[in-house]
Amino acid sequence: MSAKLIMNEVSRTFHDGDSELTVLNKLSLKVDEGELVAVMGPSGSGKSTFLSIAGALLSPTAGEVIIDGVPLFGMSELELAELRLSKIGFIFQSANLIPYLKVKEQLQLVAKLGHRSPAASSKRSLELLDRMGLRHRLSYYPDKLSGGEKQRVAIARAWMNKPALLFADEPTASLDASRGQDVVKMIADEVKAEGRAAVMVTHDERVLHLCDRVLYLRDGALKETQE
């Protein structure tokens, strides 16, 4: 079993005038293939900074990040952008669908940006929409979808380029309990089916039983217990 994400003693400080704020303090994490890891923590605990660094959107002040065997240190902005397209999928609190693209087009745009062939991307998009129970919605625009359907499209879009690693930021925040359970179960099922890995930041304790591990962000580091 290979590690899809390694964060080794990652720290991040921000400067505000003469003061220095340490948001992450020697945070370490390893997420293996087939794992869905939940990260919990109160507002202001550094979850957004953690996700940004883990997702190659922000550089750490110190420490090491390795995604699917690729160290991020020293990579150019262009190289990081290509890595995000090829190795990382993102799901956000709101689905963030493009309003003027139909469901299938949402997925095919990501494939095009990832330099996938049109034939392969068409096949892949139909497979994913089938698995998400959305085949009958492939020609719909986002404004014709329910909240749960939008999040399922977002999941399919995130898996489109077969990323090694998926990050989900409060994916159930705008959903009721039943739809939230469905969405996280779909993420967990895809992690297992595709041999990938996922990290989900959440406040939703109702979905924790669907995760392989639950970690708590406290004092700038990840702990196995809430206290």
227 residues of the chain, pLDDT tens digit each: 678 999 999 999 988 778 888 899 999 999 999 999 999 988 888 898 999 999 999 999 999 999 999 999 989 999 999 999 889 999 887 788 999 999 999 999 988 888 888 888 899 999 889 888 899 998 999 999 988 889 889 888 988 888 899 999 988 887 788 888 888 998 898 898 888 999 999 988 999 999 999 999 999 999 987 76
Name 220's Cβ contacts closer than 8 Å, sequence gap at least 6: 11, 22, 23, 24, 25, 26, 27, 46
For the packed helices 118-131 and 147-159, what is the interaxial angle rounded to 10 degrees? 140
Q: How far is CA 57 from CA 66, 80, 119, 124, 157, in A?
A: 13, 8, 30, 26, 19
Is 55 within 8 Å of 90 (Cβ atoms)?
A: yes
Round to whole Å and give the CA distance between 152 and 141.
14
What would you measure as the largest C-alpha separation in the chain, in angstroms?
57
Q: Domains, the chain, ranges and CATH?
A: 3-223 (3.40.50.300)
Round to whole Å and give the CA distance between 159 and 30.
21
